[in-house]
Chain A
Amino acid sequence: SSELTQDPAVSVALGQTVRITCQGDSLRGYYASWYQQKPGQAPRLVIYGKNNRPSGIPDRFSGSSSGNTASLTITGAQAEDEADYYCYSRDSSANHVVFGGGTKLTVL
């Protein structure tokens, strides 16, 4: 099955912009979705489809995709955005689902 690759850790200064990326062959055929997870909590969907935010997700979160790479961008990162972020997609066969390994975001 396919894999999705994420950088293990990224940091950003408070108020600055950060991009978290996800690479994998399955992303050529399926959109990624992105999940935020804080310690002790269930994951929460933050971006899906071409660039859609569920209700309640701040508009500083946005998504994009090109070729085999999907990106989650936080414009004006806040302290409360410090969390683990996971990308997710169907795999190329559509019979399985795959998560990226996760990116730990630190807001300095």
Chain B
Amino acid sequence: QVQLVESGGGVVQPGRSLRLSCAASGFTFSTYAMHWVRQAPGKGLEWVTIISYDGNTKYYADSVKGRFTISRDNSKNTLYLQMNSLRAEDTAVYYCARENGGGNSFPLDYWGQGMLVTVSS
């Protein structure tokens, strides 16, 4: 069955860096675009970034552009999120999610369990 398992979260000081990983299994990882979505405590879902199936195309939310970098290693079935210059407002649960799109529909059909990142001094 499809599984997405995040790791790498924790507590980090403002201005520091952290890298999240998302290990995928149960499907052909290299054929799907992947997303990171976050949720600040008590708040709604916020889209962060997307990477194409081959890693050649990436887009970012304005709130993280220039600080976060998405990447993937299709040989290891793993998605990454490198987060630099972290701010208190980046504190959130971070989810990786698979996009199963086609035509004019791009649903996120599988999600990881989420990984808490806390930015605090």
Chain A residues within CB distance 8 Å of chain B = 1, 29-31, 33, 35, 37, 42-45, 48-50, 52, 54, 84, 86, 88-90, 95-102
Contact A1 B105 (CB under 8 A): no
**Chain B min CB distance to A4 (Å):** 11
A residues within 8 A CB of B59? 95-97
Q: A43-B95, A95-B59 are in contact. Are A88 and B108 (CB under 8 A)?
A: yes
**Chain A min CB distance to B90 (Å):** 17
A residues within 8 A CB of B89? none
**Chain A min CB distance to B40 (Å):** 12
- Report the interface size class on chain B: 20 to 34
- B72 within 8 Å of A by Cβ? no
Contact B106 A33 (CB under 8 A): yes
Count chain A CB atoms within 10 A of each CB in B35, B108, B113 and give the residue with the most: B108
13 inter-chain pairs at a CB distance below 8 angstroms, sorted by A residue, are: A29-B104, A31-B104, A33-B105, A42-B114, A43-B45, A43-B108, A45-B107, A88-B47, A89-B106, A97-B59, A99-B44, A99-B46, A102-B45
